[in-house]
A and B are shown apart, each in its own frame.
Chain A
Amino acid sequence: MSTDGWLPIGDAVTDRWTVLERDWQSVLIGAAIVALVVLFELQIPW
């Protein structure tokens, strides 16, 4: 299957992300990390 169809979606997501204020980007990345830890019991070592 061609991956060309996904390119516009990827570009749109990148565009949306780029115009987002940095503070909101931090909140979204934080939320994504919490979601990964909670949903998949992801263990992050130190």
Chain B
Amino acid sequence: MNGRRLLPGLLALCLGALLARTLAGALGVNHLLLAIAFGFVAANAVGVPDCLEPGIETHKLWLGTGIVLMGASISLETVLEVGGVVLLLVVGVAATTLLVVELLARNVFGLADRMGSLLAAGASICGVSAVVAVAGSIRAREEQIAYAAATVLLFDAVTIVVYPIVGDLLGLSGMVFGTWAGVSMFSTGPVVAVGFAHSEAAGQWATMTKLSRNALIGVVVLAYASYYARAAGDSRPSVRTLWDEFPKFVLGFLGLAVVASAGVLSSAQLASIENAYNWLFVVAFAGLGTEIRLADLRTTGWTPAVVVLIALLASSALSLAALVLLF
């Protein structure tokens, strides 16, 4: 049965989470980053046994559940106050990153069109998930998907380390750091991890900003699918693609945010829900660490990496400057 197949990996994730939670205080490091480090070391030093893989692969489910529960801690009042500006920034940075990667890939570095589009989607929206979603709609080749995914994962690994250091050096507030990570880093897991590693406020802003960005995936997939279908003389894809690609856990997050803002939950209940999502995040990040494989990163070609690096530096610097000026 399914549950029995998942159990060993789930136990391994829980053990990693408990170790990270226990040792973080003693070592003076953040428990989320330590959980990622445990997963990374385990996967790259000894490898993940086959019997553990099904359970460990559930880590994205726990991340999604943690994000849903985080809705209870969100102050809708604050979000409505500055949300419009942040939303504009999200759309602006995503569009700029997508255009910069497309232009560099096609006109400067001469990459194949579909390769450039996969890198643009991954860098501008939501990392590997965007790469996979766009790949399906533009019929990209297997090796292009693997290349683009490896490039995104390379920058996920780099930004997990670099962003907290830059945030500390510049003394950024929780709101500015979280929003900056949310608009410019690639995959959801690393964004949430560096956000909460900085502070609770940064974690919440990082998650909200990243969720807004992820919600753009439907539009991007639809645009790319239409573009490549027209180029090939095929029929246009339906608007249903928008719904199919929409990250549905955002609805759970928003629903709980509305319930919590209505004052239905007591402070003890809110504290329990907050503890639940903190545990879910540690469990999820232990699994996320196992996905960063050095062998895969070494296969990344230098050209895609340079294209994405330039786009990341541009979007990161511009968004940080805008945030510091605005807030």
**Residues of chain A having any CB pair with chain B under 8 Å:** 14, 18, 21-27, 29-31, 33-34, 37-38, 41-46
Contacts and interface: CB of A to CB of B under 8 A. Distances in A.
Q: At the interface, is chain B mostly helix, strand, loop or mixed?
A: helix
Contact of A23 (B3, B248, B273): B248
Nearest to B248: A23
Interface string B7-38: 00000000000000000000000000000000
Nearest to B21: A46
A22 B306 CA distance: 33
Interface in B69-111: 69, 72
A45 B249 CA distance: 24
B272 interface: yes
B61 A14 contact: no
Contacts of A18: 2
A27 B248 contact: yes
B192 to A, nearest CB: 13
Sorting the interface of chain B by its residue count into under 10, 10 to 19, 20 to 34 or 35 or more gives: 20 to 34
Contact of B275 (A14, A31, A44): A44
6 A-B pairs closest in CB distance: A26-B64, A30-B68, A27-B252, A23-B248, A46-B275, A44-B275
Given A23-B248, A26-B252, A44-B279, A37 B64 contact: no
Interface in B225-281: 247-249, 251-252, 256, 265, 268-269, 272-273, 275-276, 278-279
A21 to B, nearest CB: 7
Nearest to A22: B61
B67 interface: yes
Contacts of B65: 26, 29-30, 33
Which of A29, A30, A38, A45 gathers the greatest number of chain B CB atoms within 10 Å? Answer: A30
